[in-house]
Structure 1
């Protein structure tokens, strides 16, 4: 894979990544089977992904309770389930469409039904986005608003290029994680950037390896390693303009680790 073909994703760590993550390791996804709990239009793997992606954002939602809500129709307070329902619906939608710029905007609209006002769903942010520690210190400054469109253009260029190119299984997992990481670092929307970044990762995987990708419990792995997940994202630096993707390997290795507990 030549770096010159890509506008924003880095291949600098690809060789080292391939030395640590073997072809045989990644082929474990082929043995994954859907849960017996899935039936009819209900998908357990989508429920799990939606719940753990929500919990990574601080939502207090229990997987068993959510399954009883989606599969059995048990009633809960609207505030308890509606944001998770939006993620569930977004995942189900992506299973029917291609991973591209137009559909990604539609997915963001679905994800933010109960987060953002209508006129901000699927729209690129026009203000700065900074993150603060409990001591009110800036921990990360996302892409400045005046370059977000250009950075997204680069991202979508690379996404289109990669979805049409034949990749090895190692390259596929590597770039799925890179898409996740680069998108969340750009932070192009007003909210739900983490949710959609995790979805892009799995969506891209499904484009390359098929339906089995949806069975990989990446969101669950990230949740049960929440501290490492956010620490590894933060290793690149505290300002978008000076991010160092040579420090991304700990994050890139987390997706393959999702397969270990599923064997």
Structure 2
């Protein structure tokens, strides 16, 4: 097998820019809509959205790599790093590390990309690790850097990256390109095109012992943020995680050839889907604010509604039952029945089913 980096045209990727034009236009249009919607929520809601989106990315970019972290710990660490009010819980190293990296990406997206930036991110990601030789620097091991699957003795090699001896040269060439193709560079590229190439190129080099996928996805977000002039704040990793097999299949397909139109089309569609999901979350926050402005609720009703809103745009799984309401509010069955009937009469909740099958749902108005 001849890998992309072994071919004569590496790393001069080729692609059909006309096939990407529509995606680039949609990205800019949706970015404008997101920015406009973002201005319609108050500062507290902006902080909530910021923490939710960053923590979702931190959680999902880790899950893509098979690492399942604690959301509450990640959110607590993010709030602490952003200077927001939080609890004083002890944060495990993995959660703290990914939170620090994502906050650094959010705060410093406009700073030039350097070896030192990447080394710092790698140190954050590998916080607490004792199994790696090279932390906060490019890999140096003599063994081939391979992406493999399958049991021992029957491994399948999906990709073999350039040798460790070439890392400094490969990464310097990558950094030079990243600077040159930025919005203020000598050869600026459209947003999605640059972000898609950056991600594929970086993971093709695979410069670190571990963490290459997470850093590669962060680089794509940095490229988009640089183009927009503000943090992109979209749930790219959540969108990828939803259909992870396709993501890995596209990466594998694209590491054998330097004609990458299909990769860039896939990547562009993924970013547009991520924008849609972010728009849904902003709309949900606006709807939540209007809900509490519209309806006068007692403390029990408010507590139950807040618990339901906590589940996000997809709502309370299976609907809210009277038993759920009693558990959440600590009230009696008779009071729960009166409260729920009142919420339906006010138009705050909708009701489905009868008797033990009765379920209640938030009635939120969407834009």
TM-score range, shorter chain: 0.7 to 0.9
Corresponding residue of 2:173 = 154
1:248 equivalent to 2:251? Answer no
TM normalised by structure 2 equals: 0.59
Alignment of 1:62-81 (within 5 A): 63=71, 66-67=74-75, 72-73=86-87, 75=89, 81=92
Q: Is the 8 A contact 1:99 1:203 kept in 2?
A: no
Report the CA distance between 1:99 and its aligned residue. 3.6
Work out whether 1:12 is the aligned partner of 2:15: yes
Structure 1: 5+ residue stretches without partners: 1-6
Change (3 A) 1:59 1:233: same
1: CA distance, partners of 2:224 / 2:264: 18
CA 1:132–1:152 in structure 2 vs 1: closer, same or farther (change >3 Å)? same
* Distance in 1 between residues matched to 2:102 and 2:78, nearest whole Å: 14
Alignment partner for residue 132 of structure 1, among 135, 140, 148? Answer: 148
Structural RMSD (CA): 3.1
Q: Aligned with 2:272: secondary structure?
A: helix
- TM-score w.r.t. length of structure 1: 0.80
Larger radius of gyration: 2
The correspondence of residues 102-181 of structure 1 with structure 2, limited to 5 A, is 102-115=116-129, 120-127=134-141, 128-134=144-150, 135-163=154-182, 164-165=184-185, 171-181=190-200
Deviation at 1:260, TM superposition (A): 3.0
Map of 1:38 onto structure 2: 47
Residue number in structure 2 paired with 1:87? 98
* Contact 2:146/2:161 (8 A) holds in 1: yes
Unaligned segments of structure 2, at least 5 residues: 1-9, 80-85, 280-367
1:100 maps to: 113
Q: Is 1:26 matched up with 2:39?
A: no
| Number of matched pairs | 247
